[in-house]
Amino acid sequence: MKRIFKANSLFFFLCCLVGILNSSANYAQSDTAMHGYYVLPMVVEGGDTIALVDLRTITVYPVRDLSRDTRFNRRYIRLAKKVRRVYPYAQLAVDILQSIYDTLPNLDTERQQRRFLRAYDKALRDRYMDELKQLKVSEGRILLKLIDRETGYTSYNLVKALRGKLSAMFWQSLARIFGENLKTEYSPRGEDRIIEEIVVKIESGRLEPLPLPNKKD
């Protein structure tokens, strides 16, 4: 019963992304490309003009020897396999937001927008319903966290933005019955630090080969 609830709920939350505009995204980048060069923000100090450039943060994680049969390694391998399985769905959430952001402004009326969202919703269900039903409860929990990581929205906020506060409260109450909390935020430096390590390694292509664990996943 719990697995059925979780699978259907996960798909509902994923489909909720269809109705969310990434209002916090600002696609007017400060580094505006003009005729082959960039105009950068700057400051003047002591008569000198200094360009301001934001450098991407680079996180370095240790290379783990997963060949050793330890309790930590077994847990790490199981977690890495789950993260690797659901991470593409979290990336899909970002693609959905981008697609909606690009399409909705070109629709003239709210009726056209609603029809577009319904059609998109149906297409998502037809494409991903069977796949998401196969997720384990633990994988679904990781997926919800990664959606928060990639979009900046918790599952509760996604439902609230699309369906309203009452609907969000209903789903939250139902989730709590099964020991879940849709308001849980992704914590890359806290309880989710190992998940963050795995995701960063996946993104950079540095995830260690995952041997088969001795115990069943």
Tokens of 182: 């849709």
Tell me the percentage of the chain whose pLDDT exceeds 70.
Answer: 76
pLDDT confidence band for 12 (50 / 70 / 90): low
Q: What are the pLDDT digits (tens) for 58-85? A: 777 888 888 888 999 999 999 999 999 9
pLDDT digits over 200-212, tens only?
Answer: 999 988 888 887 6
Q: pTM here?
A: 0.69
